[in-house]
Amino acid sequence: MPPRTAEYPRPNHTILHLSDTRLLGGTDRRRLFDRVDSESKLRQIVERMDASGVDPQAIVFTGDLSELGEPDAYAQLRDIIDPFAERLGAAVVFVPGERDSRAEFRTGLLGQLPSDEPIDRATFVDGLRIITLDTSVPGSHHGELAHSQLDWLSDELLTPAPYGTIIAMHHPPMPCLFDLHTTSELRGQADLARVLAGSDVRSIIAGHVQFSTTATFAGIPVSVSSATCYSQDLTAPAGSHRWVDSGQSCNLISVYDDTIMHTVVPLAVGPVISWVSAEESSRLVELDDMLIEESAVAAARSAERASRPVTIWDVANT
């Protein structure tokens, strides 16, 4: 009997999505609220993902990457992520949030001259377009997109990408679970919805609220990653807010021909209660006569990765 083919092949693209790293500069290991070592939390998450053998084509950070916009914080971020990304040949995509300094962000993460203009970019990774939108408003906590940014986005989306587009932004376009969050929500969402209508945008990823959540916006899935530094306790008494040194996570995004899967990966792991090795897993799949097809994109990448870097080119809106 021929093997049964699994319902889906391997994904065309895998993306690691992290958010709200909120790194502090300086050499004295300052802590958020005098408690949370945000650098250590990020290092732990990256080390765990590295050890897992995950092989993303891109690593995307959706804003509030520094707590105070300090140059040292951006240097820390590069120090943590660059060796991991370089080893994998993964593109690294940075999105600013309201806690970032556009000038220092440009200098420290993009290698550009300092400027306070919004940072919107398009990055292509093996045919998948990742568009970053700068929703930050210097001096404010809420998010907004200027008309010039929406015009740029509209022009960019005129040409569809081979595998479609993911938009990465800090302030998520979705309702607020908490009343207090309306003070820092993304404003003018109807204007963004108009630009996205009929486009090739397949997913919107964001951060800002410090918990994992999903919604749809203009019919497009929205996936918010919790923070890597700490999270909001969703069991706090109604109307109150409590932030806790737990619940840190990142998201894995798996891009298929006709769907995109967003998976939350918590930092904390409890005691192991059972275990199947990779070899045993392969043996069981084979024993069941199950065939999982490789995606053409992933197969081409693994065949060529030793001899070429990932195809990346940037179109900066500056």
- Residues found near Fe ion in the complex (CB under 5 A): 64, 97-98, 208
Q: 298: phi > 0 → left, psi -120 to 50 → alpha, else beta; which?
A: alpha
Q: What does each C-alpha distance from 201 to 9, 24, 122, 211 come to in angstroms?
A: 22, 34, 12, 23
Q: Toward Fe ion, which CB reaches closer, 93 or 298?
A: 93
Q: Which is nearer to Fe ion, 157 or 186 (CB)?
A: 186
**What tokens does 294 get?**
């490789």
CB atoms within 10 A of CB 223: 23
Amino acid residing at 317: N
What is the closest distance, in whole angstroms, from the C-beta atom of residue 136 to Fe ion in the complex? 8
Q: Smaller CB distance to Fe ion: residue 98 or 126?
A: 98
Listed residue (172, 113, 166) closest to 145, CA to CA: 172
Smallest distance from Fe ion to CB 57, Å: 26
Give backbone dihedrals phi and psi of 78, rounded to 5 degrees, phi first.
-65, -40
Residue type, 125: V
| Residue whose CB is less far from Fe ion, 95 or 166 | 95
Assign residue 40 a region (left: φ > 0; alpha: ψ between -120 and 50; beta: otherwise).
Answer: alpha
Of 78 and 181, nearer to Fe ion (C-beta) is: 181
Min separation Cβ 23 and Fe ion, Å: 14
Tell me how far apart the alpha carbons of residues 244 and 223 are, in angstroms, rounded to a whole number: 21
- Tell me how far, at minimum, the Cβ of 265 lies from Fe ion, in Å: 21
Q: Where are the beta strands (DSSP E) in 163-288?
A: 165-169, 201-206, 213-217, 220-224, 231-232, 243-244, 249-255, 260-266
In the complex, least distance from residue 263 CB atom to Fe ion, rounded to whole angstroms:
23
Please say which residue, 14 or 225, places its beta carbon nearer to Fe ion: 225
Q: Which residue has its beta carbon closest to Fe ion?
A: 208
Q: What's the gap between Cα 289 and its chain centre?
A: 36
Query: With contact defined as beta carbons under 8 Å apart, do 168 and 131 qualify?
Result: yes
Least distance in Å: CB of 181 to Fe ion? 10
Q: Which is nearer to Fe ion, 196 or 224 (CB)?
A: 224
- Closest approach of Fe ion to the CB of residue 164, in Å: 27
Nearer to Fe ion, 64 or 156 (CB): 64
For the record, the structure tokens of 18 come out as 């992290």
**3-state secondary structure (DSSP) of residue 131:** strand
Shortest approach of Fe ion to residue 262 CB, angstroms? Answer: 19
Minimum distance, C-beta of residue 14 to Fe ion, in the bound complex (Å): 26
Closer CB to Fe ion, residue 121 or residue 208? Answer: 208
Q: Tell me whether strands 58-62 and 13-18 are parallel, antiparallel or unpaired.
A: parallel
Helix residue ranges per DSSP H, 89-183: 102-105, 147-156
